[in-house]
Structure 1
Amino acid sequence: MTKQSVNLVNHPLVQHKLSLMRDKDRSTKGFRELLNEIGMLLCYEVTRDLPLEMVDIETPVAAMKAPKIAGKKLTLAPILRAGVGFLDGMLALVPSARVAHIGLYRDPETLQAVEYFFKAPQDVLERIVILLDPMLATGNSACAAVSLLKSRGARDIRFVCLLAAPEGIARFQDECPDVPIWTAAIDERLNDHGYIVPGLGDAGDRMFGTR
């Protein structure tokens, strides 16, 4: 199976908001609000090719055939904790979407993803699943999340992140070649602790004000 492309979202609003988020002095409130706003903008990009069908409607003036999104509603699947930061913005655009929750944490010694919670719609195999996590660093969590979703039957998965490291992209494409990536930036590298450089720090800690 061929590797899917990486879709770099270079819209000026996305890039401007990302620069604001990178600033180490950005408040928790400001960071959270910006993540929500970028989530909405990224949702617009990742849903650009959703299938449409023509349906009969009545306007106040006349009957017509009009396009509506076809098929089952989307499933948004944030990786806890930080992926939740994308939810409000995306649900503002697709309020009828289902929401899966994927609980993973990164072991500080091995940097491997450890599952602690997973819940998804029963009919996830019939839905487009948008996997959400602000950071694609080592790729361990993203790959583990895709594996969990596929174990429930998901077939059409799209991964959305804010920042990606080249190492994470390579790992993800090797293990999940059928899952395309949308990201606002591809940074330089990972450091010895598995953080993206220059990055923006730990997105979950910055969003929730924890350390």
Structure 2
Amino acid sequence: MSDHLTIVDHPLVQHKLTLMRDMRTPSAQFRQLLREISLFLTYEATRDLPLTTKIIETPMTEMEAPTLKGKKLALVSILRAGNGMLDGVLDCIPSARVGFVGLYRDEATLTPVQYYSKLPQGMDGRAALVVDPMLATGNSSAAAIDLVKQSGCRDIRFVCLLAAPEGVARMRQAHPDVRIFTGALDTKLNEQGYIVPGLGDAGDRMFGTK
């Protein structure tokens, strides 16, 4: 664990992640587990958000109470698999603004191809959580964060379910200022660019596609 990489080793995260890795776990359970783990990952990724105070009335008295400082957070999902994490993040931060970046991986070159981008307004004043279950080569994640930075956002955290050492290294090289929060750092990538031991293609596992 470092300033750049945080592995969320909470026992519930690790238990649920084991269930997700199991190839026998059906899509409906896989989606539910991803939603649950995403909430835990969000909790860690937002631990140091800045606070201010405001005066409120409790049933007992007036008090100066803590509240989040600045604009509402932005969540940026890397399509399509990132959408599997959105519900869990929104359970934790229901008022967040949501954006989407569409990227697919060219299977021959393993490079990302962009086909869509829609981000909330006022990104220059927001903290952003960029979500995608798998940090494999890191190419798509780095490209998505390029787009978020182009919108003016400077406080960016990347949240994923699994990471490969190659993807962490790529992100550190491309975006050393972006912290990564993940459930596990796996062993390596295989020749097809998939994480090993991993859990297969997260999008296919979520949606029952091949």
Q: Which residue of 2 aligns with 1:127?
A: 126
Equivalent in the alignment of 1:144? 143
Structure 1 residue ranges, 4+ long, deviating more than 3 angstroms after superposition: none
Q: Which moved more, 1:186-195 or 1:43-52?
A: 43-52
Give yes or no for contact 1:82–1:133 (8 Å, CA) kept in 2: yes
Q: Classify the secondary structure of the residue corresponding to 1:65.
A: strand
SS at match of 2:82: helix
Residue-by-residue CA offset, 1:141-171 (whole Å, 9 max, x unaligned): 0000010111111111100011111111111
- The answer on whether the counterparts of 1:40 and 1:89 sit within 8 Å (CA) in structure 2 is yes
* Aligned residues of 1:4 and 1:178 also touching (Cα < 8 A): no
Aligned to 1:51: 50
Task: Indicate conservation of the 8 Å contact 2:4/2:176, yes or no.
Answer: no
Contact 2:74 2:123 in 1 (8 A): yes
Matched letter for residue 187 of structure 2: E
Letter in 2 for 1:158: R
What code does the residue aligned with 1:207 have? M
Extract unaligned runs of 5+ from structure 2.
none
Checking the alignment, whether the CA contact within 8 Å between 1:165 and 1:188 is kept in structure 2 is yes
Amino acid at match of 1:186: L
8 Å CA contact 1:39, 1:90 repeated in 2: yes
Structure 2 CA distance, aligned partners of 1:138 and 1:77? 19
In 2: Cα distance, 1:167 partner to 1:62 partner? 54
Mapping for residues 93-172 of structure 1, pairs under 5 Å = 93-172=92-171
1:125, distance to aligned residue in structure 2 (A): 1.0
For the pair 1:19 / 2:14, whether they are aligned, the reply is no
Paired residues in the alignment total 209
Percent identical pairs in the alignment equals 59
- Cα deviations by residue, 1:90-145 (Å, 9 ceiling, x for unpaired): 11111110001010000010010000000001201100000000000000000000
Aligned-residue offset at 1:4: 4.6
- Which letter does structure 1 place at the counterpart of 2:112? A
The corresponding residue for 1:78 is 77
So what's the TM-score if we normalise by structure 1?
0.97
Instruction: For 1:145 and 1:182, locate their aligned partners in 2 and report how far apart those are by CA, in whole Å.
Output: 16
The residue number in structure 2 matching 1:207 is: 206
Retained in 2: the 8 A contact 1:99–1:120? yes
Measure, in 1, the Cα distance between the counterparts of 2:132 and 2:71: 23
- In 2, the alpha carbon distance for the partners of 1:92 and 1:188 equals 31
How far apart in 2 are the matches of 1:159 and 1:137? 13
Q: Which residue does 2:60 correspond to in 1?
A: 61
For structure 1, the 5+ residue unaligned runs are none
Q: Which residue of 1 aligns with 2:180?
A: 181
Q: Which amino acid aligns with 2:76?
A: A
CA RMSD of aligned residues (A): 0.9
Q: What one-letter code is carried by the residue in structure 2 that aligns with 1:196?
A: I
Contact (CA 8 Å) 1:4, 1:177: kept in 2 or not? no
Q: Secondary structure at the match of 1:18?
A: helix
Give the TM-score taking structure 2 as reference length: 0.98
Q: Within 2, Cα distance between the matches of 1:145 and 1:84?
A: 14
**Are 1:29 and 2:63 an aligned pair?**
no
Question: CA–CA distance in 2 between the matches of 1:152 and 1:71?
Answer: 17
